[in-house]
Each structure stands twice: as C-alpha cells, then as structure tokens.
Amino acid sequence: MSVLQAPEDEQGGGDRGDPSRDLRSILVTSVLNLEPLDEDLFRGRHYWVPTTQRLFGGQIVGQALVAAAKSVSEDVHVHSLHCYFVRAGDPKVPVLYQVERTRTGRSFSVRSVRAVQHGKPIFIFQASFQKVQPSPVQHQFSMPTVPPPEKLLDHQSLIDQYLRDPNLQEKYRVGLNRIAAQEVPIEIKLVNPPMMGQFWKMEPKQMFWVRARGYIGEGDIKMHCCVAAYISDYAFLGTALLPHQWKYKVHFVASLDHSMWFHAPFRADHWMLYECESPWAGGSRGLVHGRLWRQDGVLAVSCAQEGVIRVKPRLSGSKL
C-alpha cells in the first residue's frame, strides 16, 4: 500500500498563506485532545477510522504521547518513543491511557503508557524526555533533492488524474474514489507518483510531502511532536509492499511496533518531506525506515516500524 492505497515560518509554510485565517487543526482540537479522568489517566476518542475498521495506529501513538507529555515539566521535550501494538483497537469505544511515571531525572525522564480497551491493553508505549543540552558533536545526512511541494499535485488532484485514464480498470476506479472520499486530517503531495501502468516495477521506497491540515501555530513543541507521531504511521508500512503489489493482493496488514527519534524543532503544520524505505521483508513481516525533513533541509525526525504482512496471489494477468 502506497500513499494512494492508504486504508496514513522558514521551515516550510509553503502555499498556506496567512495562518491566522486558517481553521485550527482538528488534530489539536479533537484527535489529540484527551479528556482527563484522574491523575495520569486520560480518555481518547476517534476521528478517522481506516477502511480496515481497526483503529489507526498513528492516532494511538499520538494520543499516548499526549498523555505522557502531560506528566513532565515544560522544560523537557520528547527525544524518543518505542511502542508495541498488542491487540487490534475497537473503533466503537474510547481508549483509556494510563501513565506511569517510570523515572524523573535531572536530564532525562521516562514515562510508560498503557492504552486499554475492554479491560485489556491494546498498546504499550515508552517515551524518554530530555532537557535541552547543546553539544558540539553534530552531523546529519543530506536531504534528498526533490521538487518543492508547491510544484506537485495534491492528493485529490493526483487521484483525479488517475481517474481520467480511460484504460483504468473499474475495480481500481472504485478503490480510488473510496480513498478520495476519506476525510484524513493531513495533506499529502507525492513525489514522483507512478503512472497506473508502472506499479509492477516499483522499488520499496517512496517520498511525499506531508503536513497537518489546519493551523497549529508556534505553540508547544510537544504538540508538534504528537502530531508528527500521528502523521508518521500514515502509509508507512505500505512501503514494504510496493515491489509486490502487482503480484500479490493484500490479505492483512498491521503494525507490530513503532519507534521515533526527535532531532530538531519543527512545525507539523508546515510541509515536511517524508522519506520512506523498506530494507527488508520476509517471514510475513516487513521493516520500514523513515525520515521527516524540514523544508530547509534539517532532519527533524527518524522513524522505524515493523508490521505483519499477509498476502494472496493475484489472478494470472491481473496486474495493476
């Protein structure tokens, strides 16, 4: 599953215009706005549910990070998180987030979170927070050279372009219309989108510009990290399927674990380049690495995820 098959200031404000005129991002006002029930206990509700009818993993990661961040002081910020998805989430009921203050140190603090439904954990999570500590030891890879988001088609326009192809098979036309109808709270611009007849020769790599819909503002660095956690899971695991989608039909895909490392401040409501690649797949699992780049070339976030992938052979001659 690629982006087109998802069920996911100077830093790249792009063509958004005057942010004061934009609606507040629903990721802040609704999706990541947890209800406090008691000390270190929160309830989260759902906004977007994929066609799989299982909870979107990015929502659970983002909400868990919100809960953890509420238990630390303002002078520390998340630098990493690691989590496991242990049961499928039920979109019909809210999720309870139980925070454990594992350790509060002078430089680093650790928080553990359990997401619970029907009395059982569906997700376990740990995040580490750090006080700002400048260091002369610094380096990073170079950002890939790609067209800026202003020169690329948005998600809807790209789908419309595919739909205008008179040779497009009806089953794919239905699928694209279903994707176009989804109200996902993030914006996507795919870099180097393939033509419909080229899906059979894709590599396990993809890049797309992404940002939250609506305005978040300078605000709290922690909230931008929570929004990035939500964004990071969108179409991420699907990268591992790109070379195989012409030969196999997806039977079941689900995240097993997810990790993130936060390197530099960023605005999640500004365009960032999401560079995804899958170095390995096998044993009914796939591994994906990702990097979120600010538009000025600064590496903001690194991600990794492994998931279960089960497929069925396509009928002979039924290429995409």
Distant-in-sequence, close-in-space partners of 99: CB < 8 Å, separation ≥ 6: 40, 41, 42, 67, 68, 70, 71, 111, 112, 113
Amino acid in the structure at residue 50: P
Catalytic site includes residue 98 = no
Q: Which residue among 255, 278, 295, 302 is the active-site one?
A: 255
DSSP string, the chain: --GGG----TTT-TT---GGGSPBPHIIIIIT-PEEEETTEEEE--S---TTSS--HHHHHHHHHHHHHTTS-TTEEEEEEEEEE-S---TTS-EEEEEEEEEE-SSEEEEEEEEEETTEEEEEEEEEEEE----S----PPPP----GGGS--HHHHHHHHHT-TT--HHHHHHHHHHHH---SEEEEESSPPPGGGGGG--SEEEEEEEESSB--S--HHHHHHHHHHHHTTT-GGGGGTTTTTTEEEEEEEEEEEEEEE-S---TTS-EEEEEEEEEEETTEEEEEEEEEETTS-EEEEEEEEEEEEEEEPPTT---
Catalytic site includes residue 133 = no
Q: Which residue among 11, 63, 245, 305 is the active-site one?
A: 305
Q: What does the block give as tokens for 75?
A: 């002078």
CA–CA separation, 290 vs 101, rounded Å? 29
Q: Which residue among 5, 11, 126, 233 is the active-site one?
A: 233
CA–CA separation, 241 vs 253, rounded Å? 10
Contact criterion met (CB below 8 Å) for 115 and 123: yes
CA–CA separation, 318 vs 247, rounded Å? 8
Catalytic site includes residue 233 = yes
Catalytic residues: 233, 255, 305
